[in-house]
Amino acid sequence: MQPSPSQPLADFARGLLRYEAGQAGDPDDFATGFQRVCGALHQRLSPLISAPGFYTLMARAIMLAARDFPLLATVKVTANGDCAVSGLPTDEAVRAPALVDDAMTAVLAQFIGLLVTFIGENLGLRKVREIWPEVPFAGTDSAGVRE
């Protein structure tokens, strides 16, 4: 079983989502923010891990996050470079902004965790941080040095 991402990684993922979604708090804003994060990650990482590799990791991240957030069970990310999110439930009770925020954050945290597992913490986090240098990350690198 894949371990849950560390708290610093989850906080970083939430920061990425909020940076791209803004602070409006509408579930559609979180989905749009996720789509922007996914698209930027796809553009940066596909040359390194291939487009199919990217979407395989994203599908796995969604599946892992769906264990804690059942609303993700039907979510898919389009494998065409724009990372369009489909399959979010339309029921307002299920799509509460805080729940969608937490679910999308869990997907991003799982994705970054998987990326770090497969290509290493130094390279994986460096590639992600190159896209969003202004989003704080309160973690440590593999040598234990705080960033």
Do the domain assignments include residue 144? no
Of residues 90 and 93, more confidence is placed in: 90
DSSP-assigned letters across all residues of 37-90 = HHHHHHHHHHHHH-HHHHHHHHHHHHHHHHTT-GGGGG-EE-TTTT--EE----
Mean pLDDT, the chain, whole residue set: 84
Which residues pair with residue 76 across a beta bridge?
86
- Full-model pTM: 0.86
Instruction: Give me the pLDDT at residue 92, please.
Output: 65
Q: Which domain holds residue 35?
A: 7-131
Does pLDDT of 1 surpass 70? no
Question: Does 139 reside within a domain?
Answer: no
Number of domains in the chain: 1
**pLDDT greater than 60 at residue 147:** no
Element (H, E) at 28: helix 27-49
Report pLDDT for 26: 62
Tokens of 94: 């299920």
- Domain contains 87: yes
Q: Which tens digits make up the pLDDT trace of 46-86? A: 999 999 999 999 999 999 999 999 989 998 888 776 787 78
| CA pair distance 19, 49, nearest whole angstrom | 25
